[in-house]
Amino acid sequence: MTSAADLPGSEFSRSFGSVAARYAQYRPSYPDAAIDHVLDGPKPERILDLGAGTGKLTSSLTGRALEVVAVEPDHAMLAELSRTVQEARAMTGSAEQIPLPDGSVDVIVVGQAYHWFAHPAADQEMARVLRPGGVVGLLWNFPDRTVEWVTKLYQATRDEAPPWSFDAIPLDAELFGIAEESRYPSTHSLDGPDGLINLAHTWSWVITRPAAEQAAVDERLRAVIEEYPALQGETVSIPQQTTVLRYRRR
């Protein structure tokens, strides 16, 4: 369910730049099958990764189009993207102000960022830059909270969201029609318990806590780690599912 923390311009939405390098290292990428589903059809001339962050999705798009453009409002996140994904054209901008001409994009992808967009401004901007018949693919990675220790990890960070909720605001049906939804299972591998704790420090509700509260989160996470042998090895694998909503521009 949407809360004030999810709103565009909130403290939560602005928090990620302070941990840009950590975000790039510890956040999961996206399964090839999910990306292939979005790009099903002729090879596009231009793909736009909107709200691209540090390029977790951008890096998987290079080579799949003649040009990949990454647009991101946070300068620290964009700098990390420019450093690690040099094949893409990185541009400062937002979903509400996309720095591209009308009808210049074949595909827009949004990885783990759509919930920060303001509507209807973002819908109208995406429709403006897309060519008729162009595709929008919205992607989210969700850890599998049916696994007991995954649920406990989230409880340790005091995440109040319902454990399996998914309530994305749909794009304007007059502009994009109805979404086609699909899901793709995968795993996200981290370098042991420290990697798991570092991942938690890329979540906005942890980043925005005072240092003392973050330390308390770390203590609770270590307690969960001590409880489950699966979290104590050199590699920790988090089961996850990538949800894709695919739209087509009318």
What pLDDT does 164 receive? 47
What does the alpha-carbon distance between residue 71 and residue 134 come to, in Å, rounded to a whole number? 18
SS3 137: strand
What pLDDT does 182 receive? 97
SS3 30: coil
Distance of alpha carbon 6 from the chain centroid? 13
Structural tokens at position 66: 């003649």
The domain defined by 4-143+162-188+239-248 carries CATH number 3.40.50.150? yes
Residue 40 to residues 97, 127, 168: CA-CA distances in angstroms?
27, 19, 23
Estimate the share of the chain in helix, then strand, then coil, as percent rounded to the nearest 5. 35, 25, 40
Which residues, in sequence order, are bridge partners of residue 68?
47
Distance of alpha carbon 108 from the chain centroid? 14
* CA angle, 235 then 241 then 244, to 5°: 140
Residue 109 to residues 52, 164, 221: CA-CA distances in angstroms?
9, 23, 33
Encode 190-202: b = buried (16+ Cβ within 10 Å), e = exposed: beebebbbbbbbb
C-beta separation of 96 from 116 below 8 A: no
From the number of C-beta atoms within 10 Å of its C-beta (0-12, 13-18, 19+), residue 23 rates as buried
Cβ atoms within 10 Å of 212's Cβ, excluding its own: 8
* Cβ-based neighbours of 229, under 8 Å, separated by 6 or more: none
What are the boundaries of each domain within the chain? Answer: 4-143+162-188+239-248
Tens of pLDDT along the chain (250 residues) come to 344 445 555 677 678 999 999 999 999 999 999 999 999 989 999 999 999 999 999 999 999 999 999 999 999 999 999 999 999 999 999 999 999 999 999 999 999 999 999 999 999 999 999 999 999 999 999 999 899 999 999 999 986 654 445 678 999 999 999 999 999 999 999 999 999 999 999 999 999 999 999 999 999 999 999 999 999 999 999 999 999 999 999 9
What does the alpha-carbon distance between residue 138 and residue 37 come to, in Å, rounded to a whole number? 11
From the number of C-beta atoms within 10 Å of its C-beta (0-12, 13-18, 19+), residue 142 rates as middle
